[in-house]
Amino acid sequence: MSAQAMTGVVLAQAADLGGLSNLALPVLMFVVVYFLMIRPQMKRQKEHKALLAGLAKGDEVISAGGLLGKISKVADNYVTVEVAELADKPVEIMMQKSSVSAVLPKGTIKAL
């Protein structure tokens, strides 16, 4: 086989690999984005959904807006949160369950 024919074979093989590498790069980028961004976000959503399903009366919570309080009533989509006491009466607000961002350890809120 001559050197010119050998060069032609090598170039043909490189052209075949070039087509595969053009397809491999977007696939590789998608895999990286999936594991770095999409999968962790899905995990956080699943954890938040479990947190909302486990809300109960007496839980101390913090809302997405930073409001601290103790849950006094739980409904399907809403929770009633006691945020303070005024003249020996609790000050309660109603908010959506989805706005609860975390459940605090018992005893975190002392002034209620």
Check residues 110 and 75 and name the one with the higher pLDDT.
Answer: 75
Pairing of strands 60-63, 78-86: unpaired
What is the per-residue pLDDT across 10-20, written as a single tens digit (0 to 9) for each? Answer: 555 655 555 66
Between CA 36 and CA 41 the distance in angstroms is 9
pTM of the model: 0.67
Report the CATH number of the 56-104 domain. 2.30.30
Residue ranges of domains in the chain: 1-53, 56-104
Instruction: Outline where the chain has alpha helix (H).
Output: 3-33, 39-53
What local confidence, expressed as pLDDT, does residue 20 receive? 67
Answer whether 103's CB lies under 8 Å from 59's CB: yes
Nearest to 89 by CA among 102, 66, 72: 72
pLDDT tens for 58-82 read 999 999 999 999 999 999 999 999 9
